[in-house]
Amino acid sequence: MTDFSMLSDYIIGIRRTLHKHPELSGQEFQTQQLIRNELDKLGIPHRTLHKTDILAEIAGLQTRPEETAALPPEKYSKTVLLRADLDALPITENSDAPYVSQSPGVMHACGHDSHTAMLLGAAKLLWDSRDHFSGTVRLMFQPAEETGRETRMLIDHGMLDGVDTVFAIHVAPDLPTGKICILPGPCMAGVDDFSIRLTSPGGHGATPHLGSDTLLAGAHLAVNLQQIVSREIDPQKPAVLTIGIFQAGTKVNLLAQEAVLSGNIRFFDKELSGYFKEALTRYSEHTAAMYRCSSEVTYTPSLLPTVNDAACCGTAKNAAMTVWGEDNLIKRPASMTSEDFSRYLEAVPGVMVFLGTSDGTQKTSWPLHHECFDLDESALLNGCRLYAAYAWEWLFQ
Ligand SMILES: [Zn+2]
Ligand SMILES: [Zn+2]
C-alpha cells in the first residue's frame, strides 16, 4: 500500500526545492541533477538525449498471459510517454513564502516545478507497480518549454520513437483544487510570430512633403492589421493578432527612417497560418506604399495548436475516475495561450489535461506568468497519481 501522505510530502518537498532554485530555459542543469539523483535513489534507468533533458524508462515485468500469445508484440506491449517540463521564467518573484526564489530575476511562474515534482512522484508509483504491468513507461523531463527550442531536437533524438501515446499535465490557477479539465480537440492555440520593417529615406520634420514618414505609416499599419481578424477571418474561427512592439524614430524633428512592428498571431485552425502570412504581407505592402515607404515582412510559424486525441481523452477521464473516485471534471473554453507539447501531439496521439490548483484564496489564484503566482500544493498528490493512472490505463492488461 502506498502511503499517500508521505508521497504528498515528497512531492511538495521537491517542488519547494525547485521553486527556490529556478533555472531559465536551456539552463536547467541543477534541476537535471536533482532529477538524476532522485531517479538513482529509486534505481530507475535514465539518460540524456541532448543537453538538460532526462529520459527515464520503466519496463513492466508482468509476464505475458498465454491468451495473448497470438498477438504481435506491438499490439500487446505498449509504450506510454509522460511529460513534465523544467524551466522557469525571467520574472522577479513577489512572495513572502519560505520557498521564494533564491535566484534574482528568475521564477517558476508557470508551475513547471510542480510538474516535475508530480512526475517524480509518479515515477515512484510506477516503479513500485512494475510487476503488475507489461510494456514501458517513458518519463520525459523536458527543458525549455517556454522558448520551445528543445522539443524538436528531442524528437530528432528519438524521444517519441516507438511511443503509442503521450500525456502531460499543466497546473491551472483558474480552476479549483480537486477539479480537472480534459478537452477533446484543440485545447491551446497555435502561434506564429511576425516582424514588419518599414523603411524610407526620412526627411526633416519641417518639410514633410519632401520626405516620407515610417512612423505615421507604422501607426496606420498597427490599426489596419486589426482588420484582418475582424474582416477577413471566419468569425466562427477564433484568432487574435497582437502587436507587442512598435519602435520608430530617433529625434523630435526628424521623419523616422525606420519603423518596426513585431507581434504574434494565435489560432486553432492551422490553415489560418498561411492566410495570415499572405494578408499581413498584403496590408504591409499597401499601407507602406500609401505613405511612400517600403516594407519587409518576416513571418515565422512557431507552434501548431495543441490538439488532444478524443480516444486518449476518454482514457484520461477513466484515469481521473480511478484517482478521485468520482466525476471531478470541469469544463472551460480552450485557451489562446500555446504549449510546445503540441509537437508531441502532432506526432503521437495523446492528451494534455489541466489540474485545478486554486484553493479560492488570492494567493493561489494569480494567473500563470504573474510575479505573485503560487499554487495550492495539496492539489499535487492527485496530479501525481493521475500521471501514473494514465499509464496504468494503457498498460494493465
Ligand atoms: Zn508558461
Ligand atoms: Zn507552462
Q: What confidence score (pLDDT) does residue 75 get?
A: 64
Q: Is the pLDDT of residue 76 over 90?
A: no
Residues 18 and 51 placed together within one structural domain of the fold? yes
Residues 208 and 82 placed together within one structural domain of the fold? no
Q: What confidence score (pLDDT) does residue 94 get?
A: 98
Neighbours of ion ligand 2 (CB under 5 A): 110
Alpha carbon of 149 to ligand 1 centroid (Å): 14
Residues 42 and 150 placed together within one structural domain of the fold? yes
Q: Is the pLDDT of residue 67 over 90?
A: no
Alpha carbon of 59 to ligand 2 centroid (Å): 28
Q: Is 369 left (phi over 0), alpha (psi -120 to 50) or beta?
A: left
Q: What confidence score (pLDDT) does residue 86 get?
A: 98
Domain final residue pick, 280, 303, 326 = 303
CA distance 88 to 368: 11
Residues 200 and 165 placed together within one structural domain of the fold? no
Residues 160 and 240 placed together within one structural domain of the fold? no
Cell (9 digits) for 73: 508484440
Domain final residue pick, 287, 303, 319 = 303
Residues 221 and 244 placed together within one structural domain of the fold? yes
Residues 99 and 167 placed together within one structural domain of the fold? yes
Cell (9 digits) for 233: 477571418
Mean pLDDT of 370-381: 98
Residues 13 and 125 placed together within one structural domain of the fold? yes
pLDDT-derived band at 73, boundaries 50, 70, 90: low
Dihedral of CA 369/373/376/380: which sign?
positive
Residues 40 and 155 placed together within one structural domain of the fold? yes
> What's the domain count of the chain?
2
Cell (9 digits) for 204: 526633416
Alpha carbon of 368 to ligand 1 centroid (Å): 7
Q: What confidence score (pLDDT) does residue 397 get?
A: 58
Dihedral of CA 239/265/368/144: which sign?
positive
Which CATH number covers residue 344? 3.40.630.10
Alpha carbon of 373 to ligand 2 centroid (Å): 12
Domain final residue pick, 256, 271, 303 = 303
Residues 232 and 168 placed together within one structural domain of the fold? no
Enclosing domain of residue 84: 4-187+305-395
Which CATH number covers residue 216? 3.30.70.360
Alpha carbon of 142 to ligand 1 centroid (Å): 13
Residues 299 and 336 placed together within one structural domain of the fold? no
Q: What confidence score (pLDDT) does residue 396 get?
A: 82
pLDDT in tens, 260-298: 999 999 999 999 999 999 999 999 999 999 999 999 999
pLDDT-derived band at 66, boundaries 50, 70, 90: confident
Alpha carbon of 174 to ligand 1 centroid (Å): 14
Residues 285 and 312 placed together within one structural domain of the fold? no
